[in-house]
Amino acid sequence: MEKRINLLKDETFLQHPFVVAIILFLGLVMMDPFHLGPVSEHEFRPVKHDIAPYHQVMKNWPRDNISRLGLHGKSEFKNEVFGPESLEFDNMGHGPYAGLADGRIVRWMGEELGWETFAVVTSNWTEKLCFRDNDSTTAKQWKHEKTCGRPLGLRFDKVSGDLYIADAYYGLLVVGPNGGLATPLATHVEGKPILFANDLDIHKNGSIFFTDTSKRYNRVAHFFILLEGEATGRLLRYDPPTKTTHVVLDGLAFPNGVQFSTDQSFLLFTETTNCRLMKLWLEGPRTGNVEVVANLPGFPDNVRINEKGQFWIAIDCCRTAAQEVLSHNPWLRNIYFRLPIRMSLLARVMGMRMYTVISLVDENGKVLEVLEDREGEVMKLVSEVKEENGKLWIGTVAHNHIATLPYP
Ligand SMILES: *[C@@H]1O[C@H](CO)[C@@H](O)[C@H](O)[C@H]1NC(C)=O
Ligand SMILES: *[C@@H]1O[C@H](CO)[C@@H](O)[C@H](O)[C@H]1NC(C)=O
Ligand SMILES: *[C@@H]1O[C@H](CO)[C@@H](O)[C@H](O)[C@H]1NC(C)=O
Ligand SMILES: *[C@@H]1O[C@H](CO)[C@@H](O)[C@H](O)[C@H]1NC(C)=O
């Protein structure tokens, strides 16, 4: 297997025999006669998507060759938190709070009390049905998470102390400073259910901007969004005075993290499939314009501001040359992912052995810091980096701990 991966990384090999080999399968698997391929239950429609050229991005991206995050980072709270995607601190600086794969939002109460359940997003939540300990981040949770909830984005309103939640199944919700059962705010837009709310930020006028990752796939099926390259994601806005939800941007490819700038003249959001950080202007002459801020070496998740107004991006790294060929040739993906082979194997052949990269950028996308954990020593499948009190707090969607690193 290792050998195959190396061969595929070599492009001269890639451009011809790889394509030819794939074509040999064409007649047999195109129709997936035995329904064995990984995508066979879905109506899989790969499309071309708007991703910057691989070589250009990788050539210019600074590397952390000594893997400083892996070297100096610390893995904490092992088997105490399960898939803590988003990390947040309340108005008193207490925390972190974390949204877990078992549907709960928990908060750290200090060494003596440990983690306590702070809120849940649905009255459906019961310990018996939803609490699966460190199995919460495995496939065992998949058929329950629709009922139990999966809080992905967390933000405290600095004025009211209320916690706003983007839940992958229950949409946008809010819970008071004492926690409990959250109240739904936005579950539908334009008359249809919001399928995959992902992250949010709060405007000073009270409106909540949040991402809805896809109109077609929910969180459990998120891998298909990446494979298809489909762009049905949206940026939405909930206005409290009228209790209405509006489409701000449509046609996005896996919109994920959201973050306002300090003065709120613009907001940044990540487009995971396109490996990039985007900017939407909200004030000034460019109001309404959408711009690419940075093309990234891998797949970004959340983006969070620090006190200096700079932005931390969590990135599953890196893109590969093989994946680029598939990106540009939807018909190849159509065949490749219909092969009657396990998805994990297909992904490995593509060279998708991801590791953690976190990066700090300024508002124009200038890279200020790159920290890597190449061997996944303290973090894998990174989801968020939150700078708070001289530390980076680093979350993950699929593992059962938090990583920290003293910073700066
Ligand atoms: C890191 O390694 C790459 C190749 O392995 C090299 O091109 C680059 O100059 C190195 N960067 C630093 C900062 O040493
Ligand atoms: C899950 O947690 C238990 C203790 O609660 C531990 O013994 C076990 O090793 C953990 N499993 C994994 C995969 O970390
Ligand atoms: C309970 O979960 C089901 C889906 O599993 C959902 O349709 C229903 O709306 C949920 N009820 C509440 C009160 O959240
Ligand atoms: C708040 O400001 C945003 C950005 O300018 C705007 O789109 C939204 O409509 C405003 N909300 C309210 C309630 O005025």
Domains of the chain (ranges plus CATH)?
62-318+354-406 (2.120.10.30)
In 3-state terms, what secondary structure has residue 406? Answer: strand
- pTM for this predicted structure: 0.89
Interacting residues of 347 by C-beta distance below 8 A, sequence separation 6+: none
First to last CA, the chain: 40
Residue type, 140: K
Q: Determine if residue 72 is left, alpha or beta; phi over 0 gives left, psi from -120 to 50 gives alpha, anything else beta.
A: alpha
- pLDDT by 10-residue block (mean), the chain, 408 residues: 37 46 48 49 77 92 96 97 97 96 97 97 97 92 95 96 98 98 98 97 97 94 86 97 98 97 98 96 97 96 98 93 79 69 61 84 98 94 96 96 96
What are the phi and psi torsion angles at 24 (to 5°)?
-60, -30
Give the model's pLDDT for residue 4: 36
Helix or strand or coil: residue 115?
strand
Res 343: pLDDT: 61
In the reported structure, the alpha carbon of residue 267 is separated from the centroid of ligand 2 by a whole-number distance in angstroms of 40
CA angle, 321 then 235 then 320, to 5°: 5
Shortest-distance Cα residue to atom 6 of ligand 2: 79
Whole-angstrom distance, CA of residue 309 vs CA of residue 313: 13
Angle at CA 37, nearest 5°, toward 254 and 167? 30
Is the distance from the beta carbon of residue 59 to the nearest atom of ligand 1 less than 6 Å?
Answer: no
- Ligand 4 centre to CA of 246 (Å) is 11
